[in-house]
Chains A and B, each alone.
Chain A
Amino acid sequence: MATATVPTAERENYLNKEYGIKSWLLTTDHKRIALLYLILITFFFFIGGFFALLIRLELLTPAGDLVQADTYNKLFTMHGQVMVFFFLIPAVPAVLGNFLVPMMIGAKDLAFPRINLLSWYLLVIGGVLMMYTILTGGVDTGWTFYTPLSTQFLNTHVVAAALAIFVAGFSSILTGLNFIVTIHRMRAPGMTWSRLPLFVWANYATAIIQVLGTPVLAISLMLVALERIFGLAIFDPQRGGDPLLFQHLFWFYSHPAVYIMILPGMGVVSEIVTCFSRKRIFGYKFMALAVIAIAVLGFLVWAHHMFVAGMSLYAGMMFSLLSYFVAVPSAIKVFNWTSTMYKGSISYNTPMLYAFGFIGLFTMGGLTGLFVAALGIDVHVTDTYFVVAHFHYIMVGGMVIAYLAGIHFWWPKISGRMYPESWGKLAALIIFIGFNLTFFPQFVLGYLGMPRRYWQYSPEFQVLNVLSTAGATILAVGYILPMVYLLWSMRYGKIADENPWNAAGLEWKTASPPPTFNFDETPTVTWEAYNYDELKEAPVER
């Protein structure tokens, strides 16, 4: 393994091979497309974050004084839609997955590079439609588009928003399709399934969900659009249609979609925990099977979102039981991460700090998931802030933190430069504190009975809401910091060698940044994944 610190900025790589806007917008290089995604979803992250900030500002006081009730409905709707469909779902798969999956399996590119570019353009088109929706007055269905509210009672831009998400959904489908075929067909010699990094397994599991689930969302939204445009009767209760059918179809996708928003993050954390513990992952096979199990079980639990919607009690019990099963593979993940750290030689670099945050916050989010999967408790906390806090612990405390962990971990590979370590640690700390201050009070609020989706609340909830808003402000600072110092580091950061963390994995066996075809020679794999035992002596460089 060559560890020579040649100043890699000199040699030809995917960044300096060609210049000019055209070489980016027409690229089929998966690494460049990953960066296009990075720019796009960062934009939408701040749009969605802006809505979140307005929501928290409104909730600073019990009275509805900053915005009207209708505006508030639009704010939380568009916050949800933008964050889910234009940030969280593409976040790890389309940015980090796009960049890393081909490299991790020793391929030159994804199986379908042009389709990869197409899927980016689809997200752009979806994004333009979403921005059109936002700028011309917004939409207030809630991110779930429940009928008949969305089909009969609202005069906002429901069809435009549905189309935006329909198109973005196809972007996600094509990414998943590309990953599945790539992982099946493009692995380098010797890269067997049992040698795949867990990040690849996680993206594979995610791709299965994207491919099987997203089309169901697409058809559900199309049927809503047809009902709005032509007046078809699909979900119309006045003509015998069943609004619950919509909820079933919607959650058949959207519950697995929740796992699109966590599985890739688990993959990131697996890579980081092993690297910074200098130990092979504990229970590799169980870790790989667990992500597949979560993906499969994810398709069997959707109706736990509908316990109070008028479903039969028997069905409720079955879905409750099945939801509990998800806890098993999830717990395997958490136990195995901690077991990996046990007796490891741990170093506390920024990615590892985020990984610690992920494990703790995901555990909180997962355990409270068991609360809401229990029929009796769910009746008490449905549509309260308890649920809001629960899924933000998974989506923000889990996925966003894992995403940031991954961005920092692979930043030397992506940019060829190191990020400033002390700023990184500071930002990780601020985000952890800000996150908990924002969302922990919401567990309490929800348990005390504060409903979600209202712009006013009873005065006795104010103290906790002020805490939450203060936390959101801190969190915002924590998110802006990495953007500033990462941009700074692209020009002024220390030049990274090909493997600054001394990590296992094929992506670290090529230059930083990598050449366009990733490897000068297609690698042949003769070792197991995470062979840190063999790399043990080498210390982690800073």
Chain B
Amino acid sequence: MSDRAPVIATHSPALRHHFSNMEQQMEASVMGMWVFLITEIMFFGGMFCGYMVYRHQYYSAWVAGSQKMDFWWGTLNTIVLLCSSLTMALGVRAAQLGRRKSVVIFLLITILFGLGFLGIKGIEYHSHWTEHQFPGLNWAWPDANGNLVALFFSFYWAMTGFHALHMVIGVGLVAFIAYHAWQGRYSAEYYNPVETVGLYWHFVDIVWIYLYPLLYLISHKHISG
């Protein structure tokens, strides 16, 4: 737009035709990702809401289910995910500074952490499965509380499942931008995709930061009635 036009004396090849300058393009893509993350909050919010309602209603079943969570795997996974957020942030920083090689390296480490998280989650899923803790398909519970604990595990599988799905998508996205970074598509002037994928990655991390205490911590030491 005309009052901003002089800013682009040299027209960057990464500037899409409908934006008037790089700054506007960057602002738009970051805002787009934030709005998308708001939709994600609402998406997970539905499940958190259901979790809260039932936790309030069936407290003892929630305690019983919670005690079947593997505290150490969960804690380790939290650490893995926090580390991945650190490397993601370092990757974004490197992109801002236009350091191609460090961007690629940090993104690759982020991918490894992400895969590590999924691997650990897989181990946990496997043990829940072998212990017949999947409601509907493969469910057995020793006492009469079983139906209600099944409710807890339904939420466990749905919430961590959707989170894991987001992790899988996240790993794919990071791999995609790592490839582009390796090809040298980004510069200190244009690194929007790194920035926005970074935002997404941190969001998925934050979802886990809520899932971890709700599922693993709050009733872990509680001795039920």
Contact = CB atoms under 8 A, between A and B. Distances in A.
Interface residues of A, number: 48
Interface in A221-254: 222-223, 226-227, 230-234, 238-242, 245, 249
A86 to B, nearest CB: 20
B150 A233 contact: yes
A315 to B, nearest CB: 13
Interface centre among A182, A185, A233, A249 (most CB of B within 10 A): A233
A218 interface: yes
Interface string B40-73: 1011111101100110011001000000000000
Interface in A109-133: 109-113, 115
Given A185-B28, A189-B2, A232-B136, A173 B39 contact: yes
A177 interface: yes
A213 B39 CA distance: 8
B67 to A, nearest CB: 18
Contacts of B4: 189
Given A232-B136, A240-B148, A211 B35 contact: yes
Interface in B2-50: 2-4, 16-20, 24, 27-29, 31-32, 35-36, 38-40, 42-47, 49-50
Contacts of B54: 240, 242
B157 interface: yes
B50 A249 contact: yes
Nearest to A231: B136
A219 B57 CA distance: 21
B154 A232 contact: yes
B20 A231 contact: no
B36 A234 contact: no
Interface in B209-223: none
A109 B27 CA distance: 16
B135 interface: yes
A215 B39 contact: yes
Contacts of B17: 108-109, 517
Contacts of B61: 240
Given A215-B46, A233-B136, A177 B27 contact: no
B66 to A, nearest CB: 16
Contacts of B36: 177
Given A109-B18, A226-B158, A232-B135, A218 B47 contact: no
B155 interface: yes
Interface centre among B1, B36, B54 (most CB of A within 10 A): B1
Contact of B137 (A111, A231, A245): A231
A184 B31 contact: yes
B147 interface: yes
B115 interface: no
Nearest to B43: A215
A440 to B, nearest CB: 38
A216 B43 contact: yes
B32 A522 contact: no
A182 B27 CA distance: 11
Interface in B109-167: 134-137, 147-148, 150-151, 153-155, 157-158, 162
B151 A241 contact: yes
Contacts of A433: none
Given A185-B24, A232-B135, A522 B1 contact: yes
Contacts of B158: 222-223, 226, 232, 234
A347 interface: no
Interface in A187-216: 188-189, 211-216
DSSP class of A's interface residues: helix, strand, loop or mixed?
helix
B26 to A, nearest CB: 10
DSSP class of B's interface residues: helix, strand, loop or mixed?
helix
A49 to B, nearest CB: 31
B45 A216 contact: yes
A338 interface: no
A181 interface: yes
Nearest to A184: B31
Given A189-B1, A517-B18, A233 B151 contact: yes
A16 interface: no
A185 B35 CA distance: 13
B46 A239 contact: no
Contacts of B45: 215-216, 219
A464 interface: no
A234 B151 contact: yes
A185 B27 contact: yes
Nearest to A521: B2
Nearest to B155: A234
A34 interface: no
B147 A211 contact: no
B151 A177 contact: no
A233 B157 CA distance: 11
Contacts of A522: 1-2, 20
A522 B32 CA distance: 23
A240 B153 CA distance: 12
Interface in A443-471: none
A211 B31 CA distance: 13
A23 interface: no
Given A173-B39, A220-B46, A522-B20, 15 more contacts: A108-B18, A109-B17, A109-B18, A110-B18, A111-B28, A178-B32, A181-B35, A211-B42, A212-B42, A222-B162, A230-B157, A232-B136, A233-B154, A249-B49, A522-B2
Interface of A: 106-113, 115, 173, 177-178, 180-182, 184-186, 188-189, 211-216, 218-220, 222-223, 226-227, 230-234, 238-242, 245, 249, 517, 522, 524
6 contacts: A111-B28, A173-B39, A177-B39, A216-B42, A233-B151, A234-B158
Closest 10 CB pairs of A and B: A231-B136, A219-B46, A215-B43, A232-B154, A109-B18, A215-B42, A108-B18, A239-B147, A233-B154, A111-B28
